[in-house]
């Protein structure tokens, strides 16, 4: 599917105000080094390398003491917004409001996790082309291939209580892409930030069905220390 609107712009928005508690590191995980540079810089460079992306915005906390070294002032095509919130949803919503004067309602926003360093321009193009003119937007995702279990506590620890059919099950990735107007409306209407684990969940609450575009395992989210080595292997392999 191809976008038929030649005036539509595509911008990236990376919420990067989290602390990464599960990494147990000395700095927020988006600043941990993977294959020689911070994860956040890998993600930003993927958007800078894409001819389809007009600009990249990075949302950090007001007190962030790392960002100026990772993304120096004057870096072409990148703007740092110091308006991060308490939750991911808050950071995305604050970022959208901060760039309101620069956006048309039909411009598309690609929201991407700062801790996904394996993104490539090829995956960005796949998302944009796959979503096309779909008014509900869409996201990169992977179909579930493993057997899925529901757990339950027991005297022996955590046990398998049931098997969940995997047909139709997908693992959400990012970027997730929606029109500026739609994403602003969806997040603005969400009443529980903790329930919005990704942007698509807020759009779904409006009764819309974002398109699923198959991503790639290299686009994994670094959450635990062991994930860094996996990300490095993908980065070493190239696209």
pLDDT score of 25? 56
Q: How confident is the model at residue 238 (pLDDT cuts 50, 70, 90)?
A: confident
| Beta bridge partners of residue 176, listed in sequence order | 111, 139
> Cβ distance 76 to 85 under 8 Å?
no
Q: Which residue has the tokens 């080094």?
A: 33
Q: Write down the CATH number for the domain with range 10-237.
A: 3.90.550.10
Q: Which of 6-20, 68-82, 201-215 has the lowest mean pLDDT?
A: 6-20
Q: What is the pLDDT at residue 3?
A: 58
What pLDDT sits at residue 213?
98
| Secondary structure in 3-state letters for the chain | CCCCCCCCCEEEEEECCCCCHHHCCCCCHHHCEECCEEHHHHHHHHHHCCCCCCEEEEECCCCCCCHHHHCCCCCCCEEEECCCCCCHHHHHHHHHHHCHHHCCCCCEEEECCCCCCCCCHHHHHHHHHHHCCCCCCEEEEEECCCCEEEEEEECCEEEEEEEECCCCCEEEEEEEEEEHHHHHHHHHHCCCHHHCCCHHHHHHCCCCCCEEEECCHHHCCCCCCHHHHHHHHHHHHCC
pTM here is 0.93
Work out the pLDDT band at 27, boundaries 50, 70, 90: confident
- Closest to 138 measured CA to CA, from 107, 113, 111: 111
pLDDT at 150 over 70: yes
pLDDT per position as a tens digit, 171-218: 999 999 999 999 999 999 998 888 899 999 999 999 999 999 999 999
pLDDT at residue number 8: 92
pLDDT at site 193 = 81
Every domain of the chain and the residues it spans: 10-237
Q: What is the mean pLDDT of residues 78-104?
A: 96
- Give residue 2's pLDDT: 54
């Amino acid at each position: 599917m191809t976008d038929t609107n030649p005036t539509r712009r595509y911008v990236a928005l990376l919420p990067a105000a989290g602390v990464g508690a599960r990494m147990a590191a000395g700095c927020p995980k988006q600043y941990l080094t993977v294959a020689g540079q911070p994860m956040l810089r890998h993600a930003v460079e993927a958007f800078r390398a894409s001819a389809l992306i007009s600009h990249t915005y990075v949302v950090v906390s007001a007190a962030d003491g790392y960002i100026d070294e990772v993304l120096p002032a004057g870096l072409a095509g990148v703007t740092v917004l110091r308006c991060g919130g308490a939750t991911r949803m808050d950071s995305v919503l604050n970022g959208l409001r901060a760039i309101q004067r620069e956006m048309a309602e039909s411009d598309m926003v690609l929201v991407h996790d700062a801790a996904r360093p394996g993104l490539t321009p090829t995956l960005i193009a796949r998302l944009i082309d796959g979503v096309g003119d779909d008014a509900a937007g869409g996201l990169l995702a992977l179909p579930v291939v493993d057997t899925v279990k529901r757990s339950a506590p027991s005297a022996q620890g955590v046990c398998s209580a049931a098997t969940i059919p995997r047909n139709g099950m997908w693992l959400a990735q990012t970027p997730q892409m929606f029109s500026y107007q739609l994403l602003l409306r969806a997040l603005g209407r969400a009443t529980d930030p903790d329930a919005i684990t990704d942007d698509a969940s807020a759009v779904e609450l409006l009764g819309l069905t974002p398109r699923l575009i198959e991503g790639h395992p290299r686009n994994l989210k670094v959450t635990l220390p062991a994930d860094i080595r996996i990300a490095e292997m993908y980065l070493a392999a190239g696209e």
